[in-house]
Chain A
Amino acid sequence: MTIGLNAFLIIAGLLFAIGMLGVTLRRNTLVMFMSLEMMLTAVNLALVAFSRYNGTMDGNLFVFFIITVAAAEVAVGLAIIVALFKRRQSVMVEHLNVLSR
């Protein structure tokens, strides 16, 4: 394969940028949370690419831990969103602006 490390890093960086666009552009808390997961995946892709082209296993193990932490984070974050919806009947960020009033 003639594809080098830089090509994978471009893909990871663009995926991170798309995730950041989702977090800043969208008003739906659930979609913002999905975009955060996408940014985590972009970092995973960069770590695996570095690990492959460095010849060591450590990057792969870091990705292993990141996937575990992301699963725990999704469970807690969705529980918080459900609790917020019970209190406010909305998940749009326009209706969750108590601190800015």
Chain B
Amino acid sequence: MADLLFYLFAGITLISALVMVLMPNAVNGAMCMIVSFLGTAALFVLLEAYFLAILQVLVYAGAVMVLFLFIIMLLDVGEDSPAVKPAKLSIFAALTGFVILSGLVISLFTDPASLPATPAFEVAENPTGLSANNGIPFTTSAKSFGYSLFTKYMLPFQMTGFLLLAAMVGVIVVSKRITETEPEAETTD
């Protein structure tokens, strides 16, 4: 049953991603992108990362794609302009790169000698501290996320908070309307 679900969601993810890339209309492409992100979230569920699946749906399929659709609507760039045709050579180069990369991936991971088939570990219910090799054991509970974020990954957690602040300031600076004259300086006298 789980195997069937894997093939189903993998197919949905890959096909909608390919449709998004080849769709001339950017709005339809964004819709296909949402389907692709939902398929990826379903693959996360199959890997028993339930918290990340929810996060994927909320952040990617929710916030990020709404932002994309809003900007597409704001700039009114739904259709590609037909006047500009891409060069034949660049299309050929892109397709060649795609074929080479996907061929490499398939030939690498279908070869049984490349990576040994490892069985999936048994999933523990509750985190019980660090394991022998200084790694947090894999659990399905969101509790282990909080435990790891405030013990092993404390510094990256704080740096991420600072990064969000920096991104917010950067967005305000970039999208601020630049005025020619400084009205504040003139009225101080």
Which residues on A are within 8 Å of B, measured CB to CB?
1-11, 13-22, 24-28, 30-31, 33-35, 37-38, 41, 44-45, 48-49, 51-58, 60-61, 63-65, 67-76, 78-83, 85, 90-92, 94-95
Contact = CB atoms under 8 A, between A and B. Distances in A.
A31 B157 CA distance: 31
A72 B167 contact: yes
Contact of B60 (A14, A37, A49, A75): A37
B185 interface: no
B94 A21 contact: yes
A3 B6 CA distance: 8
Q: Tell me if A's interface is mostly helix, strand, loop or mixed.
A: helix
Contacts of B115: 5-6, 9
A27 B77 contact: no
24 contacts: A9-B109, A13-B108, A14-B105, A15-B14, A17-B101, A22-B20, A30-B26, A30-B72, A34-B33, A38-B17, A48-B49, A53-B119, A53-B121, A56-B137, A60-B51, A60-B138, A60-B145, A64-B55, A70-B64, A72-B166, A75-B167, A81-B71, A82-B71, A85-B77
Contacts of B102: 13-14, 17
A75 B46 CA distance: 30
Contacts of A53: 118-121
A55 B123 CA distance: 8
A61 B149 contact: yes
Contact of A57 (B108, B133, B135, B175): B135
Nearest to B93: A24
